[in-house]
Amino acid sequence: MKYALTLAAALASAAGMLLLQPVFQDSRWLGPALLVIAAATAFNVILRYFNAPEFVVVIVQPVGAGLLLYVGAEACIFLFSGQSLSGDPLAEIGADIARYAPPVPTTPAMMLLTACIAAGVAWLVDVLVVAVRSAVLTGLLLLALYSAPLTLRQDGGSAAAFALVAAAYLALLLLERWDTVTAWGRAVPVRSRRRARARADADAARGSLALSGLRLSAVALACALLLPSCVPALRGDGLFGLSQLSTPSVGGTVTTPHPLASLRQNLIMGENAPVLSYRTDDPDAPYLRMHVLDTFDGTDWTMSPVRTHGDFRVSGDPLPPPAGMDEEAADEGEQVVTDVSVYANVTRMGFLPLPYPPRGVEIEGEWYADPETLMVFSTEDTAGGLSYRSTSTRVDVDAAALAAAAPTDDAGLDRYLELPEVAPEVREVTGSVTEAADTPYEAAQALQEYFADSGLFSYDLRPDPAPAGVDPLAHFLTQRSGYCQHFASAMAVMARLSGIPARVAVGYTAGSTSSSGMRLVTTRDAHAWPELYFEGYGWLRFEPTPGGFGGQGTASTPDYAAGLPSGGSPTDAADPDGAGGAEPALPDQERQEAEEAPRDREELTGPGAAVEEEPTGWELAAGPAAVGAALLLALALPRTLRLWLRRRRWASAADDSARARAAWLELRDDVLDHGAAWHPDDSPRTVARRLAVELRLPPPAADALRRVALAEETARYAPAPSAPAGLRADSTAVRRALAERAGRIDRLRAALAPRSLPAAVGRALRTLRERGTRPGRPPSPDAESPAAVGAGAADRVPAP
């Protein structure tokens, strides 16, 4: 039955891994995972075939799985994917987790991660089902596997996979109960006149239980179906109220899904699916803005209503000039053309992603521009499947001119300074961050550095929500953990507190560059950032969100926001004399370089670069040798314990009675180890006669066996027990004879997994615990007085 339970546990583990399929783009990851489960199952079957104790199986199985993953993972991954790990596996796994959102591509690192998960699942299920005999607990593990895709994807979860896992789980429960009931033995029929009455009573009891079960099931089903409809809509756990799903509709006002709600869905719950691709003349790869949120109510940023108007219809004519930008600078600025293609599977995109500030848009359908924010939107059409061309103005922004710019006095911008009552903690932090700033630009730069460059804040897509009654912004500044929405919203509020007109923009970062020169934007590039107003330049983008690895991977800081001259670089600022120094990779290039990293060693290092010395053969062999040594030690542990107990038993035998007892206990353990039957109720003489006949022992071994039995009998019943001096030699002779008469498998099992070891270890531990409670000299392991033994009472050990 152990074999059946082992195989059922393996099938349940494999079915559980199928639940993770929605997390991946294809099914190549499943090959290594199933191979690891199959290898672990074969390992368990072999150990149990030799009747290895369960604690040995529990310890040795993860060691074997780890050795398999360490030695064969590379070959297995290459077999199923045609790729191989290029460096540190842990570093690659961490990079892929940070880079991709479900459904993730089947990279070598992801295949290694799922293989490790499969090994852990197979080990835990086998322990619960076979070792612990509690198959019902595997339901929690399988439920956790089923919950993973539901957490990562809104459409996660497969009905077919769920049905398969449910069937495997029920099979585990049935097999476990069958094994338990079978161990009770055959049912004994009872024939009496009361049998019919007893059966009727039992049927009535079963009917009552069945009726109670139906009632409980009906109540549970009604609660599951009706309770969710009675619960009010859940509020989002974002920083500034994601519960609003649309802006208010007033008259001809255009309504749209709440931009921050869509942003959060793309980053956390959505797929890492392509949204659009574009080609641009702008060397700085601009962000693509869709929405402008200009109203803050203390909790939520919202968008002012936008209305359709015939004068603002996009029909190839130039768009209104950008607010606040100097007309001469706008006319003399470089005209940049951006060709955008939105994927057909994109839905509900009523606002166009455009570089700011757009000056003209060529697109099919009825699209309108908001004259103040230059958002381009439609009341009927969607951008999914469309291609359009945008012409925008690229104006060189001089950081020095920004630093000298005075605060604006335009009364039309007062609404971009409006704030409700703000928590005192927020005002205090704002004042401490900007106290050294003399101009609005210096204050904006200080705020940006406080969030993105100080190292105080961390990027987290699932930050802890603000407790009830706590100001969300104050909570964010205290917890210092969040994602782009939190950083953009906080900086915009603190900029308004500093007297700088500010608003929040929502759209996409520049994405990543493909080999063809096109830039690809995915849902993981959804982003929010603050826009601050400066006279003569209008609305300028700042970037408080940490970028690169560990942050928003494609977020980048504009040169002017970093205090650099137009077209400059961080290297220029750090090395104004041009003395040298490598130009650091921009954050929006990091993912491209990680994905397209060259495999050739010379291309990686370059001529003259410091090349790490290749590891020697001894260094390469050190890891597998260490794992092999650990495996050998694990296999040798049962045999070592058995030898220790034997030495301890003989060393503690101080008199004839104790030596007779040690010889008899050794005989019992040797018989069990070599697969022979031991009957604890037999007398010593009966044991000697039976073993000599059943095992056909040679005369010397049979004589030694009789001497051991006679010594035990004398120790039990004689007033003054005495034992021959050669009992230890007789015990050794009997053990060798048992090994010669046993089969090859029984001998191997006796050497690697002695069947007597669990009971002997348990008795030894009990003896050690009793040392502190018994007066005088503590007894030796397994040693009992003949008076306490009686007629073979001490030999009552479980039969094999």
Query: Are the C-beta atoms of 116 and 90 separated by less than 8 Å?
Result: no
Q: Report the pLDDT value the prediction gives residue 100, as an integer from 0 to 100.
A: 63
> For residue 617, what are its two tokens?
């053969």
CA dist 753 and 45 (Å) reads 14
614: left (phi over 0), alpha (psi -120 to 50) or beta: beta
Q: How far is CA 412 from CA 330, 418, 621, 702, 777, in A?
A: 20, 12, 73, 112, 97
Cα 691–Cα 697–Cα 700 angle in degrees, nearest 5 = 120
Q: Report the pLDDT value the prediction gives residue 498, as an integer from 0 to 100.
A: 93
pLDDT bucket at 446, cuts 50 / 70 / 90:
very high
- For the CA atoms of 197, 200, 204, 205, the dihedral, rounded to the nearest 10 degrees, stands at 70
Helices (H), ranges, 563-616: 570-574, 587-595, 601-605
Phi/psi at 296 (nearest 5 deg)?
-120, 125
Angle between helix 424-434 and helix 484-497 axes, rounded to 10 deg: 80
CA dist 205 and 286 (Å) reads 75
Q: How far is CA 761 from CA 241, 675, 756, 781, in A?
A: 61, 19, 9, 9
Helices (H), ranges, 50-88: 54-81
> For residue 445, what are its two tokens?
């730069």
Going 629 to 632 to 638 to 644, the CA torsion angle's sign is negative
Radius of gyration of the chain (CA): 38
> Which of 174-188, 518-532, 709-723 has maximum average pLDDT?
518-532
pLDDT tens column, 118-141? 888 988 888 888 888 888 888 888
Parallel, antiparallel, or unpaired for β 538-541 and 526-534?
Answer: antiparallel
Query: Are the C-beta atoms of 532 and 500 separated by less than 8 Å?
Result: yes
CA dist 394 and 364 (Å) reads 25
- The CATH class that applies to domain 401-511+523-569 reads alpha beta
Query: Are the C-beta atoms of 268 and 154 separated by less than 8 Å?
Result: no
The least confident of 189-198, 479-488, 573-582, 777-786 is 573-582
> Which of 207-216, 259-268, 301-310, 770-779 has maximum average pLDDT?
301-310
| pTM listed for this prediction | 0.46
Q: Report the pLDDT value the prediction gives residue 293, as an integer from 0 to 100.
A: 93
Residue 381 has pLDDT above 50, yes or no: yes
> For residue 499, what are its two tokens?
């007297």
pLDDT tens column, 583-629? 333 334 434 444 444 433 333 333 333 333 444 444 444 555 666 66
Cα 556–Cα 561–Cα 565 angle in degrees, nearest 5 = 105
Which are the contacts of 691, defined by CB distance < 8 A and separation ≥ 6? 671, 676, 697, 705
CA 789 to chain centre: 56
Give the type of residue at 479.
Q
For 354-385, b where at least 16 C-beta lie within 10 A, e where not — what string? Answer: bbbbbbbbebeeebbbbeebbbbbbeeeebee
Of 353, 331, 356, 354, nearest to 541 (Cα)?
Answer: 356
Query: Are the C-beta atoms of 698 and 706 separated by less than 8 Å?
Result: no
Cα 215–Cα 174–Cα 178 angle in degrees, nearest 5 = 120
Q: Report the pLDDT value the prediction gives residue 544, as an integer from 0 to 100.
A: 94
Q: Report the pLDDT value the prediction gives residue 270, as an integer from 0 to 100.
A: 53
What is the DSSP annotation of 594-606?
A: HHS----HHHHH-
Q: What is the mean pLDDT of the chain?
A: 76
Residue 164 has pLDDT above 80, yes or no: yes
Of 593, 528, 532, 595, nearest to 561 (Cα)?
Answer: 532
In which residue are the tokens 């073993």 written?
691
pLDDT tens column, 30-89? 888 888 888 888 888 888 878 878 777 888 777 877 777 777 777 777 777 677 776 677
Query: Are the C-beta atoms of 376 and 350 separated by less than 8 Å?
Result: no
Q: Kindly state the percentage of the chain with pLDDT values over 90.
A: 15
> For residue 455, what are its two tokens?
């190292």
Phi/psi at 55 (nearest 5 deg)?
-65, -30
Q: Report the pLDDT value the prediction gives residue 604, as an integer from 0 to 100.
A: 33
What is the DSSP annotation of 163-204?
A: HHHHHHHHHHHHHHHHHHHHTT-PPPP--STTHHHHHHHHHH
Terminal-residue alpha carbon distance, the chain? 15
> For residue 730, what are its two tokens?
């007789």
Give the type of residue at 355.
P
User: Starting from the edge strand earliest in sequence, which strands make up the sheet with 519-522, in order?
Assistant: 358-362, 387-394, 334-342, 274-280, 519-522, 512-513
Q: Is 718 helix (H, G, I), strand (E, B) or coil?
A: coil
In which residue are the tokens 């007109």 written?
501
Give the domain ranges of the chain: 2-183, 275-396, 401-511+523-569, 628-795
- For the CA atoms of 212, 216, 218, 221, the dihedral, rounded to the nearest 10 degrees, stands at -160
Q: Report the pLDDT value the prediction gives residue 268, as an integer from 0 to 100.
A: 67
CA 53 to chain centre: 32
Which are the contacts of 547, defined by CB distance < 8 A and separation ≥ 6? 452, 553, 554, 555, 556, 557, 587, 588
Residue 796 has pLDDT above 70, yes or no: no
pLDDT tens column, 744-762? 888 888 887 888 887 776 6
pLDDT tens column, 652-699? 888 888 888 888 888 898 888 888 888 888 888 888 888 888 888 888
CA dist 281 and 518 (Å) reads 11
Of 208, 30, 229, 227, nearest to 113 (Cα)?
Answer: 30
CA dist 746 and 753 (Å) reads 10
